[in-house]
Structure 1
Amino acid sequence: MQTFTLGDFEISRITEWHGSFAPVSVLFPSIPADAWQKHQTWLDAHFWNAATGDYQAHMQTWVLRGQGRTILVDTGLGNDKPRVHGLLANRDGDFLHRLAAIGVQPEDVDTVVNTHLHTDHVGWNTRLENGEWAPTFPNAQYLMHKADFDWAAVST
């Protein structure tokens, strides 16, 4: 977990999952292989495994606390979600425990900012409680771009 201060806010990065996701040739087919090699020195440490050719994904949430606010930027993967990609499907992770470790309970969150509505950014917006999906952060206002909201409403 990383925490730093920016102005009046303490910002914590909570990584829910990190590892090889898929080959960069599949995720970014228009980027030539030599471009990856050219930038290997800074990509390899965090974003790309040159030995396997895999993209190194970081599924994470940023927690901003200050001025009496607790704001989450994206909510990661979530648990119990049936998903196509095996790494993302039916997870049983410890994200809420990681939040608690920095002193944040779900009820403390007043704002959730969804940068976009990919499954690895909205997973903890809801959680399974007694067989029903419920808001994970019941006191939060959830913010998202209208175009993403409209797309999700049509896609589900």
Structure 2
Amino acid sequence: LLPFCSGIEAGAEMVMMGHLMTPEITDNGLPATLSRSIVEGVLREQLGFDGVIITDGLEMSAITAFYSEEEAVVMAVEAGIDILLLPNDFSKAYNAVLTAVMDGRISEERIDESVIRILALKLRAISGKPTQAPETVLGSPEHQQLAERIREEARP
């Protein structure tokens, strides 16, 4: 969890949730992307992340081997994911989420939470005032020193 803690502390505005199995954190047998206990419980509540959460590609076999596309997108939204990356069939994905909302499986408030986070991120992006200017991180002396240290430590 250290990379997430560091990213959140540094002001990350988005996190990509991977399809990792995390039996040491949750016993529900779900990939992290589809696990409310990981997305909401760990990332949002324990680590305090309040930004946008996006899935990794939903066409990956960690998802498609076990879930239909329709079920996976609904489970991801239920888990607290804000943006669904690369559903194979957008219409099916959209209709699955819409049906889940209409049937009461996903609340309109849950959708509103994601909409608010996404719109807030877009507003910050168009304001021309990013949280941290990329040039203050990438290529900075500290960044170059870190890259050099990683190279040195990686050598056999």
TM-score norm. by structure 2 comes to 0.29
Q: Going by fraction, where is strand more abundant, 1 or 2?
A: 1
